[in-house]
Amino acid sequence: MELRHLHYFLAVAEELNFSRAAERLHIAQPPLSQQIRDLEAELGVTLFERTKRQVKLTNAGHIFLEEVQQVLQQVDKAVDSVRQAGRGELGRLIIGFNSSATYSVLPDVLYHFRQSHPNVELVLHELTTSQQIEKLYNSQIDVGLLYLPLENDELSTLSVLKEPLVLAMPETHPLSTQPQVSMQSLRNELFILPPYQLGEALYRQIMNLFEQLGFVPQKVQQAVQLQTVISLVAGSVGVAIVPASLQNLQRMGVVYKYLQEYSSEVEIAAAWRQGDTSPILHKFLASVQVVASAHSLSIPSSK
The pairing of beta strand 48-50 with beta strand 180-181: unpaired
CA distance 193 to 6: 67
**Confidence check: pLDDT of 291 > 50:** yes
Q: Which pLDDT band, with edges at 50, 70 and 90, does 84 fall under? A: low
The pLDDT tens digits for 179-204 are 899 988 988 899 998 776 655 778 88
Sorted by sequence, the CB contacts under 8 Å of residue 280 that are 6+ apart come out as 85, 88, 91, 92, 93, 117, 120, 142
Name which of 180, 194, 191, 171 is nearest 263 in CA terms.
180
pLDDT for the residue numbered 199: 59
**The whole model's pTM is what?**
0.68
The pLDDT tens digits for 87-146 are 666 688 999 998 889 888 999 999 999 998 888 999 999 998 888 999 999 999 999 999
Domains and CATH numbers, the chain: 3-86 (1.10.10.10), 91-160+267-294 (3.40.190.10), 165-259 (3.40.190.10)
